[in-house]
């Protein structure tokens, strides 16, 4: 049996502790503040239950702008302001209806219009169905889909532990399926929901007609995974069955909206800007609690924690709540446009847009030298079960951001196993949020912001 030293026994028993570094002490204070004094859960409850879904251009989105602005002002930041941005205004209209018509049998299935889709005729569409596993198979069929409804039924790959990889592997059929099917004369498209589990919740999401003339647009909707399984099985038994769906969505003129921005002025290098943010808009089927209410309130919590701890940042730290990530990305684009116009120098950007689940780490877009430097911080995060530091996508909104000097971008990586159970669906509600998981995410973000602010980034 291996002997244990007296020092080790004392450390394990808590009777003796090693001398903590300033970074270790401050990160411990950040986590303590997040887990004992946070407001992010209360903020999210209001966004979700009192305001609700916040699709760009809606009255709810406008209310969310004012609410978050007021809350940021209550923190006592150096500056809080709104940044104007024109956003799309797509409305869903009446609840969609759909059924499988197999001889004389009608079987109702859950569908939801995809964002940006046109409506069906007022009486709906009834047509035969051709099932495909993706756009490649559609292209192979070509003109055979003319006059028919194309059913995209490629599922998310369950073998990937990183579920966003599975999402990326099939989301093209949702985004571009209608555009590609229209080129061959299809009258509509139905897309299997981006969801790993089988349930009755259809998941919406943005789609694009690209450069097609408006006269060639066709309606498109998502079908629940249970509905997709049923339709596929029914087609195998009767390839000539028909499908009916009806939706009344509409694209209205653009609407004035805003990004919400709060700022802590830097004490040493105020010209260097660090941002932390999420997107304030959400889809309309639910409250958008995970996507991206969680990221919004976590970002607000970062600056609240730092402010309450009396932290004086070396660089200017901004919280940015972007508008219109879901169906246009115009908030991120406008923030970058104004940053260029004002000749601002951003050195770091952190986004939370992967749900409010337990944090696991970060993905980074940066050069090898800065990534190596950031990797050296992993030991500081290990006591909080944060272990994953990888290179990869950081976030859609900060993806617009550029800088004349090296710029480090990061995305919070929560555990992703349950995320697509809720993503863009009617069950993305406040009751799906765990308070401690949400707070741990905010603390993890605040800790990275603190470390980058203290230690800077490497410049060439």
Residues with a catalytic annotation lie at 325
Give the DSSP H/E element, type plus range, for residue 6: helix 6-13
Tokens matching residue 384: 């909080």
Residue 109 contacts residue 233 (beta carbons within 8 Å): no
Distance CA 311, CA 80 (A): 18
Residue 175 contacts residue 230 (beta carbons within 8 Å): no
Distance CA 230, CA 107 (A): 10
Distance CA 350, CA 275 (A): 6
Residue 245 contacts residue 107 (beta carbons within 8 Å): no
3-state secondary structure of 38: coil
Tokens matching residue 8: 């080790």
DSSP states of 322-354 as a string? ES-TTTT-HHHHHHHHHHHHTT-EEEEEEE--S
Tokens matching residue 396: 């859609």
Task: Go through 120-132 and write b for each residue having 16 or more CB atoms within 10 A of its CB, e for each that does not.
Answer: beeebbbbbbbbb
Q: How many residues does the chain have?
A: 460
DSSP states of 382-424 as a string? GGGT--EEEES---TTGGG---SS--EEEEEEE--TTHHHHTT
CB within 8 A of 386, min separation 6: which ones? 359, 360, 361, 378, 444
Distance CA 315, CA 297 (A): 22
Distance CA 81, CA 234 (A): 55
The HSE-up count of residue 219 (CA atoms within 13 Å, CB side) is: 23
Give the DSSP H/E element, type plus range, for residue 59: helix 59-75
Query: Angle at CA 223, nearest 5°, toward 221 and 226?
Result: 180
How many H helices and E strands in the chain? Answer: 14, 16
């Amino acid at each position: 049996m291996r002997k244990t030293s007296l020092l080790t026994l004392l450390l394990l028993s808590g009777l003796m502790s090693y001398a903590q570094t300033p970074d270790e002490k401050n990160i411990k204070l950040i986590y303590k503040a997040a887990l004992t004094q946070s407001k992010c859960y209360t903020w999210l409850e209001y966004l979700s239950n009192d305001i609700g879904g916040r699709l760009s251009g809606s009255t709810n989105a406008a209310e969310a702008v004012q609410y978050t602005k007021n809350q940021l002002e209550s923190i006592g930041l150096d500056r809080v302001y709104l940044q104007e941005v024109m956003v799309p205004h797509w409305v869903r209209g009446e609840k969609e209806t759909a059924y499988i018509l197999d001889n004389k049998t009608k079987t109702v299935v859950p569908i939801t219009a995809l964002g940006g889709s046109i409506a069906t005729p007022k009486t709906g569409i009834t047509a035969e169905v051709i099932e495909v596993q993706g756009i490649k198979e559609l292209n192979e069929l070509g003109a055979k889909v003319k006059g028919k409804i194309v059913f995209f039924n490629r599922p998310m790959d369950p073998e990937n532990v990183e579920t966003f990889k599975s999402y990326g592997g099939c989301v093209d059929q949702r985004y571009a399926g209608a555009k590609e099917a229209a080129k061959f004369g299809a009258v509509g498209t139905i897309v299997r929901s981006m969801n790993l589990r089988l349930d009755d919740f259809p998941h919406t999401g943005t789609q694009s007609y690209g450069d097609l003339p408006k006269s060639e647009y066709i309606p498109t909707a998502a079908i629940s995974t249970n509905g997709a399984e049923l339709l596929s099985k029914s087609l195998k038994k009767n390839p000539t069955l028909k499908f009916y769906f009806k939706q009344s969505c509409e694209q209205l003129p653009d609407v004035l909206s805003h990004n919400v921005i709060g700022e802590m002025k830097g004490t040493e290098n105020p010209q260097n800007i660090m941002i932390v943010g999420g997107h304030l808009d959400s889809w309309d089927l639910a409250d958008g609690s995970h996507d991206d209410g969680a990221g919004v309130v976590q970002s607000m919590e970062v600056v609240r924690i730092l402010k309450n701890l009396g932290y004086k940042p070396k660089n200017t730290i901004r919280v940015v709540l972007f508008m219109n990530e879901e169906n246009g990305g115009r908030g991120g684009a406008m923030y970058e446009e104004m940053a260029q116009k004002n000749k601002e120098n951003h050195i770091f950007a952190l986004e939370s847009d992967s749900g409010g689940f337990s944090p696991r780490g970060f993905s980074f877009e940066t050069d090898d030298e800065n990534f190596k430097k950031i990797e050296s911080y992993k030991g500081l995060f290990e006591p909080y079960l944060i272990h994953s530091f990888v290179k990869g996508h950081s976030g859609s909104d900060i993806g617009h951001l550029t800088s004349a000097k090296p710029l480090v971008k990061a995305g919070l990586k929560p555990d992703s196993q349950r995320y697509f159970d809720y993503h863009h669906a009617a069950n993305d509600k406040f009751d799906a949020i765990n308070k401690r998981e949400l707070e741990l995410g905010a603390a993890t973000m605040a800790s990275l912001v603190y470390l980058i602010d203290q230690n800077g980034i490497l410049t060439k």
